[in-house]
Structure 1
């Protein structure tokens, strides 16, 4: 199979490229670390699978989900696999909802990675392994992050140009969706699901 890998960490990208090429199932692997190089290579050559990270802050103003949408707008038949260190249910759901062929954690072994890529090549995915997650709206995510930062509710309502009553309704909806009862539980659940990036 022919693979195009886009990741902003050169050491990881170059190492993975070398390991993939050593596999008998991979005939070609291009690695790029910049968005412009990625789309130029994507348009000039044909690939069976595209491996794409979510966090591309060192290489692009867009995240992997936005790049995924751009890829599929150019070629809807592209097989895009998200390869990320964030193994969180909400990220998995977002990836599949946006058209990814699979979502693989960077901690997998090379053998498993290749097997998963072979499955993708045969149009098979692991979608049925994703837990049921009720996704928060953009406004709810905005409020959740503000609450978890410690902002007082009056300030949050003012910044969002909504009444405190409306804010409390949003907060209750957030708690209901996350199945929590207070801010501490909401914070912990938000990290687990991927709404808030853990401190690393």
Structure 2
């Protein structure tokens, strides 16, 4: 019997996770059966169980991989307003709205993740935390002021982006869908900026 190279099993697992990521985001977790998931990767049902104990096991691995990769892309970007604007623009681009299978895992799967098992929700929590921290690194100006910490603003921006993309995908009116993206872009960029308030003079200074 021919022996596979040492990296064969990890490579097959990686292919399965990558192809399943696209299928799950396009068709949903409930709408993606094991047969379709393994067929996308060129495997058989029997081969699937050599890599994952169950569909839930695969879903948790896909969610972890997808959100980890998303956070890594943000971490690789230099901090500053230009990077923040580019991130928001890319996320709310019509091309992202129209590419569910290749887009953000949260926008495609969040409702189902919330009803999934503990392993999947834990995988998402770990990845989402890393993504929040990565975006906070782009927003951090070293002075939280009255605008809240960079991390707090990052949470708000991400929540707005994910919700807006879901809404833009849900409506059937293309004009309204584009308007949702445009309004969310303005809101996200406003939210990303720390608020500045005039310094109040002390009694001694105003005397």
Compute the TM-score of the two structures, normalised by the length of structure 1: 0.28
**Which structure is higher in RCO with an 8 Å CA cutoff and minimum separation 6?**
2
Higher-Rg structure is 2
TM-score, scaled to structure 2:
0.27
More strand by share: 1
